[in-house]
Copies of this chain bind each other. A is one copy, B any other.
Amino acid sequence: MSQLTHFDAKGNARMVDITQKADTSRAAEVRGEVVMSPQTLELIEKGGMAKGDVLGVARVAGIMAAKSTPNLIPMAHPIMITGVNINFKILPPDKIEIQGIVKTDGKTGVEMEALTAVSVAALTIYDMCKAVDKAMEIQNIRLVKKSGGKSGDFVREGEKPWEE
């Protein structure tokens, strides 16, 4: 039967006990999008070439956020991240796609770390462009793939490989 494991038998929130789980290699891939006006996308694109690197700052923010996950998500276990990559794809006329991959060798998965990294990278893009475009939207943050751990691998249906 399905259960929300973050609660005990009385319904009280808890950090689930993973003491006895073994350390295994794990990875998670998350994707999401920032949708904006074509003018804003153009400004970001030009900046990446010449001056004002929005995506460079957003990448740093996403990587650092992955490390802050247990301080943000109440029931998340602290975990020793062993690698983070954040990639961006500019999709004219109005979209930036974000990919975050997080790895660990530990007792629990890194889905939350990858979701947090992509969310904070998206928020940083918003922050750096909000002076020209307040109507930007963060869309479609979702887990695309996960490997390692007892619960087995997960691959989201209908996702295409990330090509660069």
Contacts and interface: CB of A to CB of B under 8 A. Distances in A.
Nearest to A8: B85
Interface in A88-124: 103-107, 111-112, 115-116, 119-120, 122-124
Chain A facing B: main interface SS: mixed
A52 to B, nearest CB: 4
B115 A126 contact: yes
Interface string A12-29: 111111111100010000
Contacts of A129: 4
A66 B127 CA distance: 14
A154 B141 contact: no
A126 B112 contact: yes
Identical subunits present:
6
Band of interface residues on A: 35 or more
A10 to B, nearest CB: 6
B61 A18 contact: no
A87 B60 CA distance: 18
Interface in A130-157: 130-132, 134-143, 146, 154, 156
Interface string A60-96: 1101111110111111111111111111000000000
Give 7 closest A-B pairs by Cβ, nearest first.
A11-B51, A17-B83, A7-B52, A138-B141, A15-B84, A19-B82, A11-B52
